[in-house]
Amino acid sequence: MEYLLLVVKDKYFAIDVESIIEILRPKDITEIPEVADYVLGVMNIRGHIGTVVSLRKMMHYKEMGEELQEFIASIKIGHSDWVKELEESVNQDKDFTKTLDPHACPLGVWIDEVMTCLKCDDTFMEKIKREINPHHKHLHEKGRTVIDTALTDKDKAIGIIRTEIHEHYDVVIKNIEALDEDIDLWTNSIQRIVAFTTKKGETVNILVDDVIDIISIKDEQKQKLSQIDEGEIVQFDCAIELEDGKIATIINDINI
């Protein structure tokens, strides 16, 4: 049998391709009042109004946009601490323990991932490419200059911190904060809606982080899972080990 391989957060799921109607980009989802938290709203799908539900919420995960907001907050704190420790390393002759490699810090790792993402929204990616990445790179590079300069001239090193370091830091933080306005651009360009037919013959439009591939699974490859409670929204009873050793849980049905 063939299954559509999906990813939500860091978990993999698979759905029988015979139950898949179509795969769509999330667009113009209209919220509706007094519904379960996993119901995101309704969306016009080929002239028909369809309810959109979040597999993340049904699995009790935070939405991708919420995680990005938390990541932005942590980046602001992390880089504030980075600048503070750099200043202390010069003023108090302490070792600087944080990374000077712009690709090694959490923001740098994330930027590299976004820059190589083929699905990311062009506007969102362009802002990172032009308004964040260069200043973030220079921030870390100037950190190296400060450390080297402090060995022979502390006053000059402090001057670099007060001018160039703070200048690049302020620009990075300002533009990181501005990403809050574009979170929907980013999530909508990556996530997908899978129109899925349930065992009852109902159509459910589920929002997932990404659609990976179609894989073939033999019955003998399936690993039986413990029976879940009847009240669960997402029902699954087996899993499959992927080629890279990761486990994909097979979604048997969704009860909305």
Residues 70 and 176 in one domain: yes
Q: Tell me: do 23 and 69 sit in the same domain.
A: no
If asked whether residues 244 and 200 sit together in one domain, one would say yes
Instruction: Give long-range contacts, CB 8 A cutoff, 24+ apart: 180-187.
Output: 180/69, 180/72, 182/121, 182/123, 182/124, 182/127, 183/65, 183/68, 183/69, 184/65, 185/121, 185/123, 185/124, 186/65, 186/68, 186/120, 186/121, 186/124, 187/26, 187/63, 187/64, 187/65, 187/68
Q: How confident is the model at residue 208 (pLDDT cuts 50, 70, 90)?
A: very high
Domain boundary among 185, 211, 236: 185
Q: Is 157 a member of any domain? A: yes
Range of the domain at 88: 65-185
SS3 content of the chain, % helix, strand, coil (to 5): 45, 25, 30
Q: Which residue has the higher pLDDT, 233 or 58?
A: 58
Same domain? For 56 and 92 the reply is no
26 in a domain, yes or no? Answer: yes
Is 191 a member of any domain?
Answer: no
Q: Tell whether 113 is covered by a domain.
A: yes
pLDDT digits (tens, 9 = 90+) for 54-77: 999 988 899 998 999 999 999 999
Say whether pLDDT at 156 is over 60: yes
Among 185, 219, 246, residue at a domain's last position:
185
- So what's the pLDDT on residue 226? 59
Q: Quick one: 116 and 146 in the same domain?
A: yes
In a domain, 243, yes or no: yes
Residue 190 lies in a domain: no
Whether residue 78 is found in the same domain as residue 152: yes
Domain count, the chain: 2
Q: Are residues 31 and 135 in the same domain?
A: no
The answer to whether residues 83 and 136 belong to one domain is yes
CA torsion sign for 218, 222, 227, 229 is negative
Q: What does residue 22 show for φ and ψ, rounded to 5 degrees?
A: -165, 165
- Give residue 23's pLDDT band: very low, low, confident or very high (50, 70, 90): very high
Give the end of a domain, one of 161, 185, 209: 185
Average pLDDT on 38-66 reads 86
Residue 7 shares a structural domain with residue 39? yes
Mark whether 47 and 10 lie in a shared domain.
yes
pLDDT in tens, 157-179: 999 999 999 999 999 999 999 88
Residues 69 and 177 placed together within one structural domain of the fold: yes
* Same domain assignment for residues 78 and 167: yes
Per the prediction, the chain carries an average pLDDT of 89
Residues 222-249: what's their mean pLDDT? 75
Res 111: pLDDT:
93
pTM for this predicted structure: 0.79
CATH number of the domain where residue 143 is located = 1.20.120.30
